[in-house]
């Protein structure tokens, strides 16, 4: 899903897949974003208290997080602000098979 320059959007419900927020766009995440996210320079993503941004993120703009962030974040000249109770979810590691015993 792409939000083009100058656009404003509200993500409610759940989106599964890549998300691109172009320069000058603004997105309010009130639901769940599951997939890679790219926030261009001059773009703003605001994660609401019950929102979730999961997956790798490349941030050249601004992410204001009041909800939950999960996944790797690469700052590419941008900033991420965890405010008003916003937090980071630790990764979960699980195994699909038991290791062999020698």
Give 15-50 pLDDT, tens digit per residue.
999 999 999 999 999 999 999 999 999 999 999 999
Q: Is residue 98 part of a domain?
A: no
Domain membership of residue 41 as a residue range: 2-85
Q: Is residue 101 part of a domain?
A: no
pTM: 0.87
Contact 56, 37 (CB under 8 A): yes
Q: CA neighbours within 13 Å on the CB side: how many for 19?
A: 29
User: Confidence class of residue 93 from pLDDT cuts 50, 70 and 90?
Assistant: low
Q: Is residue 14 part of a domain?
A: yes
Q: What are phi and psi of 97, to 5 degrees?
A: -145, 150
């Amino acid at each position: 899903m792409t939000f083009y320059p100058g656009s404003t959007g509200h993500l409610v419900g759940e989106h599964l897949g890549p998300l691109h927020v172009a320069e000058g766009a603004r997105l309010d995440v009130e639901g769940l974003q599951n997939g890679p996210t790219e926030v261009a320079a001059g773009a703003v993503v605001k994660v609401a208290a019950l929102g979730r941004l999961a997956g790798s993120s490349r941030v050249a703009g601004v992410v204001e997080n009041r909800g939950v962030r999960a996944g790797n974040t690469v700052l590419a000249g941008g900033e991420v602000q965890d405010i008003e109770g916003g937090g980071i979810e630790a990764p979960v590691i699980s195994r699909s098979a038991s290791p062999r015993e020698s």
